[in-house]
Amino acid sequence: MSERPLSLLFAHPDPADLAAYRGVGGYQGLQKALAMPPAELIALVEQSGLRGCGGAGFPTGVKWRLRGLDAPEPRYLVCNLDETEPGSFKDRALLFGAPQQILEGMLIAAHALGVREATLFVRGEYAAGAEIFARALQAAEAAGLLDLPAGPLRLDIHLSLGRYICGEDSAILNAIEGRRPNPRKKPPHIAQKGLWQQPTTVNNAETLAQLPGILRAGSEAYRSWGVAGGVGSKLYSVCGPVQRPGVFELPMGTSLREILYVHGGGPLPGRQIRAVLPGGASTPFVLPKDFDTPMHFDAMAKIGSRLGTGGCIVLDDQHCPLDFLIATTRFYARESCGFCTPCREGLPFLLWLLEKIEAGEGEMRDLDNIETLGKEIAPNSFCALAPGALMPLLSGMVIFRDEIAAHVEQGRCPYGDRHG
């Protein structure tokens, strides 16, 4: 049994090929799962230590158990493959390289949760990947693999019309229902009243794709694949000014330094890595002094950052850090759903202040205003979009304060036209 099961078919010419997937152990996990009662299956997933791979890191088995086995029918399962977080593209690699594995994971989850209807929610820009998944689904359905003890699973593919907010676990349900994708007020939680006001479980694509490997190897073996306190394997991605950007399946707990310098190839010639957002664009910066930290949830939290999606975004010494912060803040200001005032009005105002400073028109008090306003927006917004947007910004305002202040003192960007 491979300790890196997610990427077994990434290089295959047709990853939707059912025979090829079965050739590397595909659907053996489902076979084992179907021989287990749902309660036992949920307990196994809980024992494995699997945590949600979409960013929050909540224990998957606990999430399933809290929904309850006696939830009223119909019950729904949603696979979240929206993935519009800047710097995160691991789920794209799964969709294009391991669609059968995602599907097998959905079938295992459907059996555990007693679900007869499921939806794969795919980012709109991944339309070609959705077509690959549709071929994988057609082959599996023809082979009778969707016939579960609770009845045949109906699986729909929903291609998103766009917007980052659709990745939020309740906004995604409104999008599927054809409503404006605003986050929903909780309680009631979606485990009780989700899609069409029925019990619903939303899991990230990588989370579900981990399930076949857990079932094939067993919970203890799966846990042993991790290193330095991590559990299982993990898809990490690296982007920005490095020599080998890409997606790498590694033991959970691999150090950030190894991910960046061994697998990512290190910085471009003549440059140095100054800081990294380790889990996508909604995580605080990590500095080189902490690059030996294991990349798992608990270790990253101890140094004041987050694992998030495991999507590393590199900032090097040739790129103006203020320009970098403007890019992340501009994205979140644009993608606010507009539902709550702190996010709708606050993020564009922060962006305006940042752009004003970058243009050499800022004042020293603008720096303090950014930090003060940022700390007010996060706890008063409706969902996690604004708090996530502020993580790189507020950490960057501290780490790079002198350079940001230099824009005010010199009346221009000290980097000139050098923006990476």
Residue 329 contacts residue 351 (beta carbons within 8 Å):
yes
Q: What is the pLDDT of residues 5-48, one digit of tens each?
A: 999 999 999 999 999 999 999 999 999 999 999 999 999 999 99
Is 150 exposed, middle or buried, given 0-12, 13-18 or 19+ CB atoms closer than 10 A?
middle
Average of pLDDT values for 366-391?
Answer: 95
* pLDDT number for residue 178: 94
- Global pTM? 0.95
- From the list 308, 311, 309, the residue with the least C-alpha distance to 238 is 311
- Tens-digit pLDDT profile for residues 335-357: 999 999 999 999 999 999 999 99
Beta strand 117-122 with 76-81 is parallel
Rounded CA separation 213/28 (Å): 9
| 368 confidence band (pLDDT: 50, 70, 90) | very high
Scored b (16 or more CB within 10 A) or e, 160-174 reads beebbbbbbbbbbbb
pLDDT at 190 over 80: yes
DSSP string, 299-317: HHHHTT---TT-EEEEEET
Structure tokens, 82: 């929206």
What local confidence, expressed as pLDDT, does residue 3 receive?
77
Confidence (pLDDT) at 419: 55
Residue 417's pLDDT band (cuts 50, 70, 90): low
As given in the structure block, the two tokens for residue 214 are 């857990």
On the question of pLDDT at 83 being above 90, the answer is yes
- Collapsing DSSP to helix, strand or coil, 395 comes out as helix
Measured CA distances, 362 to 107, 124, 365, 393, 408 (Å) = 55, 38, 8, 17, 5
Band (pLDDT 50/70/90 cuts) for residue 55 is confident
Averaged pLDDT score across all residues of the chain: 95
Distance (Å) of CA 128 to CA 106, 122, 135, 234: 20, 10, 11, 24
**Distance in angstroms (rounded) separating the CA atoms of residues 387 and 312:** 19
Flag whether pLDDT at 179 surpasses 80.
Answer: yes
Q: pLDDT confidence of 79, banded at 50, 70, 90?
A: very high
- pLDDT of 282 over the 90 cut: yes
pLDDT band at 56; cut points 50, 70, 90: confident
Q: Is 411 left (phi over 0), alpha (psi -120 to 50) or beta?
A: left
61 vs 269: CA distance, rounded Å: 45
Give the domains, in start order, of the chain with CATH numbers: 5-224 (3.40.50.11540), 233-316 (3.10.20.600), 321-410 (1.20.1440.230)
Pure H helices in 114-261: 127-142, 171-176, 205-217, 219-224, 256-257
- Supply the pLDDT for residue 162: 84
Q: Which of 208, 209, 207 is nearest to 7 (CA)?
A: 209
Amino acid at position 94, single letter: L
* Residue whose token pair is 């190839």: 265
**CA distances from residue 315 to 215, 266, 333, 390 in whole angstroms, order as listed:** 39, 12, 21, 17
The average pLDDT across 240-256 equals 98
Secondary structure of residue 158 in the 3-state scheme: strand
Whether residue 324 contacts residue 315, with contact meaning beta carbons closer than 8 Å, is answered with: yes
C-alpha 412/C-alpha 405 separation (Å) is: 10
- pLDDT above 70 covers a percentage of the chain that reads 99
- Is it the case that residue 117 has pLDDT exceeding 60? yes
Could you tell me the pLDDT band of residue 418, with boundaries at 50, 70 and 90?
A: low
Q: What is the mean pLDDT of residues 277-297?
A: 97
The answer to whether 387 touches 393, Cβ cutoff 8 Å, is: no
Buried b (16+ CB within 10 A) or exposed e, 277-305: bbbbbbbbbbeeebbebbbbbebbeeeeb
- Residue 147, phi-psi category: left (phi > 0), alpha (psi -120 to 50), beta (remainder): beta
Closest to 57 (Cα-Cα) out of 278, 306, 291, 251: 306
Give the pLDDT band of residue 72 (cuts 50, 70, 90): very high
Q: What is the pLDDT of residue 363?
A: 96
Q: What is the pLDDT of residues 261-273, one digit of tens each?
A: 999 999 999 999 9
Average pLDDT on 124-142 reads: 98
User: How much is the pLDDT for 161?
Assistant: 87
In our burial notation (b when 16+ CB lie closer than 10 A, e otherwise), range 325-362 reads: bbbbbebbbebbbebbebbbebbbebbebbbebbeeeb
**Which residue in the block uniquely carries the two structure tokens 């950030």?**
256
pLDDT computed for residue 1 by the predictor: 54
pLDDT over 80 (residue 281): yes
| Exposure string over 20-37, b if 16+ CB within 10 A, otherwise e | bbeeebbbebbebbeebe
Q: Model confidence at 4, in pLDDT bands (50, 70, 90)?
A: confident
Q: Residue 364 has what pLDDT? A: 97
Q: What is the pLDDT of residue 68?
A: 82
Quote the CA–CA distance of 419 and 400 in Å, as a whole number. 15
